[in-house]
Amino acid sequence: MDTVFLFPGQGSQYCGMGKDLYDNFHIAKEIFNEADDVLNMKISDICFEGDEEKLKQTQYTQPAIAVVSIACLEVLKSETDIIPKFVAGHSLGEYSALYSAGVLTFEQTMKFLRERGRLMSSSKDGGMAAVIGGDESLIQQAVNEVKNIGYVGVANYNSQAQTVITGDKKALDRVGEILTEKGVKRFIPLAVSGAFHSEMMRDISVDFKNYIDNFEISDAKIPVITNVDAEFETKKENFKEKMVKQLYTSVYWYQSILKMNDNGIKRYIELGPGRVLTGLNKKILPEAEAFNLGNLETITNFINNLNKE
């Protein structure tokens, strides 16, 4: 069955994530131990025993989610012969996708996310909010109405009914008022430190480019559908450009899922903590098979069911 691997982004984390994999699979234990060495900190402890507030801090969240996602990936690979047709990841999840496609080594993945998280956490201006139930034209109309107050753009096109906007806090508040008056179901300010995936990230994108330019990366062995354009990518030089651009442009997520569907994908496997992407998938493509493999129970059940087929 044509399958894709999907990797979650920020917001999927929870205290204790990955511990059961660490305790039950040697390959997972090796991954967490290597992450601790590369990052020169006990990211494993932050995943397994850290407090919720620390885990929410961007500089820790990003490598923490990635190391759990990669542990899930490597456990699945060690237990099955599933080879994905494509891979994709949501925001920071794209780095786990790049690792799975052979673009980045594990060490590069950890180092890139440590620097990306550090730079993003240094940005304290702006905010983000989720809009539930408003179509894109309505949201764009509201965004256009607040240009005299401040910048607002679209951060994530998560599903046809869920869009995340980003920008100046006063302008965001006004967009919320406009959309509420126009009858959107919900407008939810998000607990983040900055206006991620917006023009307000351009300055840090320059620093990030300077950092990743010191590393040699590889062409993809498996096509990656990238956030910035919902298109297939395999060339290493384009990945570097897109990693930088992703910081200040929209994440075209549901468009990426529809692209996969158009290319014959029938099974969508989310590898990592939580089930955010699996939930979105059920809204984007209700008929498609969608699984989250994020802990010992879900991975074991999936493998057992696979063996029965």
Q: Which residues does the annotation mark as catalytic?
A: 91, 197
Query: Which tokens go with 78?
Result: 């060690």
Which residue is it, tokens 């594990």?
106
Check: CB of residue 41 under 8 Å from CB of residue 111.
no
Residues 6+ away with beta carbon under 8 Å from 105: 99
Question: Exposure string (b/e) for 38-56, b if CB count within 10 Å is 16 or more?
Answer: bbeeebbebbbebeeeebb
Question: Do strands 162-167 and 127-132 pair parallel, antiparallel, or not at all (unpaired)?
Answer: antiparallel
Rounded CA-CA distance 105/29 in Å is: 17
CA atoms within 13 A on the CB side of 49: 4
